[in-house]
Amino acid sequence: MERHIRITAGSVTVTATLDESETADGVWAALPLRSVASRWGDEVYFTIPIRLPEAADAREYVQIGELAYWPVGAAFCIFFGPTPASTGGKPRAYSNVNPFGAVDGDAAALRAVRDGDPVLVEAEPS
C-alpha cells in the first residue's frame, strides 16, 4: 500500500511518498505532526515526538528530495541540495539518518522555507 503525506512549511507545500521501512511506519503512525522548521544548508529539519533507533540502512549520504529521520535529534529531515557537511553537490547529513521516503516532484520549492516557519505533516487524502 502506497502512503502519501503532505508537508506544509511556511508558505510551501509538497507531497511525498513513504517507503516500506520501519521508520516510515513509525512516522506514519505519529501523523499528524506539528513542529517548527530549521534550515541547515539545503536541508529542512524539525523535531518530531517519536524516538526510533538507527536503522540497518542508515547513512550520511542522501539523495535530493529524500526524507530521513535523524535518530540523534529525533528529527524529520528533507534534503534538497548540499548541506554544510557536503563535499560536492550531493546532500550529506550531519550523521547517519534513516531514509524513509521521497518528495514527489521537485524538492527545490523547499528553498523558500525559513527558520521558525510552522510545519504540518499529515496524511495525504486518497
Domain boundaries along the sequence of the chain: 3-123
pLDDT digits (tens, 9 = 90+) for 22-37: 999 999 999 999 999 9
Q: pTM for this structure?
A: 0.96
CATH class of the domain whose range is 3-123: mainly beta
**DSSP assignment of 16-61, as one string?**
EEE-SSHHHHHHHHH-SEEEE-EESSSEEEEE-S---PPPTT-EEE
User: In this model, does residue 117 exceed pLDDT 80?
Assistant: yes
